[in-house]
Amino acid sequence: MSLPAEFALIARHFRPLAGEGALDLSDDAAVLDIPAGRRLVIAADAMVEGVHYLPGDPPGTVGRKLLRVNLSDLAAMGAAPLGYLMTTSLARGMPEAWLAGFVAGLAEDQRLFGLTLLGGDTTATPGPTSLSLTILGTVEPAKVITRAGARPGDDIWVSGTIGDGALGLRVLQGTLPADTAGHLARRYRLPEPRLALGQALAGLVRAGMDVSDGLVQDLGHLCRAGGCGAVIDAAALPLSDAAGALLAADAGLLPLLLTGGDDYELLLAADPADRAEVTARAAACGMAVARIGRFIAGPAEVSVHAPDGSPLALPRGGWSHF
């Protein structure tokens, strides 16, 4: 009895990604031991062709972005990666070379981040390709970072640089000029999950999340969870050279940087007494962190001070799919 094409695809492309507990992807489920004294951390994110990535994006970066946006959720909780499950609804007629490239990207990032495929499902769709990934990690119970915990007076910190992903999307769409080094497009296609930073700051910061839907909107989540407001000082926003050059040429891009999404940096609340420790722990994992404002008493609202000190009006709160 010959196996149908679905199983051949799984054997050829996905089985090499499988690791311990996956039962070679040939069973109904994976079976895993969670190390004693640690909690399971689990999240799921979906990506749809034409919505979350561009049809022309290289398949390797699509796979890597799918894995990385999920890893970013682990980073936000202070967790370490354990493994992942993935369901792929592939557009009918997709060339197998696309799948091979997609899987090669996943394989590269599996090595980089130290996790393996545990299971999933592969099917076809008459619509655009739809991908879903469930990420598993573990954390020490006392060191879970959650969104609740920011207090008035706390500093607002972000890792890395803000706005590159949103600018990179416009570069790829042709509405903004590309930087020579290709930094912005790369940041859109290949976010950097801040796993080491999240684990280093776990137990120290009071609240945290990753910035995926835009800095202002996501900071609003920390405000609602903490029962306080927040003020961002736009002059303190950490920008890449490429983003800084575009903003210098067109100051009207500032709201896009603040609300555009696809940053996948960590957004954190910390006691001002811990400033030196936050910076030191970040430096120990090779990361820059910037203080961009503070939490304040009051309603759960985010206001932004423009570089000239005036209040900045923002056209929209962030990205929504509906």
Stretch that binds a second copy, among 108-116, 176-184, 209-217, 271-279 (CB under 8 A): 209-217
The yes or no reply on residue 76 touching a second copy (CB under 8 A) is yes
The yes or no reply on residue 85 touching a second copy (CB under 8 A) is yes
Stretch that binds a second copy, among 26-34, 102-110, 166-174, 181-189 (CB under 8 A): 26-34
154 annotated as ligand-binding: no
Stretch that binds a second copy, among 31-39, 166-174, 183-191, 283-291 (CB under 8 A): 31-39
The yes or no reply on residue 43 touching a second copy (CB under 8 A) is yes
218 annotated as ligand-binding: no
Residue 83, beta-bridge partner list? 116, 136
Options 77, 80, 282, 290; binder of a second copy; rule CB under 8 A: 77
The alpha-carbon radius of gyration of the chain (Å, integer) is: 20
Q: Which is nearer to a second copy, 60 or 78 (CB)?
A: 78
The yes or no reply on residue 123 touching a second copy (CB under 8 A) is yes
45 annotated as ligand-binding: yes
The yes or no reply on residue 304 touching a second copy (CB under 8 A) is no
Q: Is there a contact between 147 and 220 (Cβ–Cβ < 8 Å)?
A: no
Q: How many CB atoms lie within 10 A of CB 19?
A: 15
* Binding to a second copy in span 266-285, by CB under 8 A: none
d(CA 9, CA 123): 10
The yes or no reply on residue 41 touching a second copy (CB under 8 A) is yes
d(CA 196, CA 156): 19
Residue 121, beta-bridge partner list? 87
Stretch that binds a second copy, among 69-77, 155-163, 168-176, 235-243 (CB under 8 A): 69-77
Q: Which is nearer to a second copy, 155 or 218 (CB)?
A: 218
- Over the window 126 to 155, marking each residue x when it contacts a second copy by CB under 8 A and - when it does not, the resulting string is xxx-x-x-xxxx-x-x--x-xx--------
233 annotated as ligand-binding: no
302-305 vs 265-270, strand pairing mode: unpaired
DSSP state of 13: I
The yes or no reply on residue 302 touching a second copy (CB under 8 A) is yes
d(CA 120, CA 265): 28
212 annotated as ligand-binding: yes
Q: Is there a contact between 136 and 102 (Cβ–Cβ < 8 Å)?
A: no
* Binding to a second copy in span 243-262, by CB under 8 A: none
DSSP state of 235: G
**Phi/psi at 154 (5° precision):** -65, 150
DSSP state of 33: P
Look-up of token digits 């590159």: 164
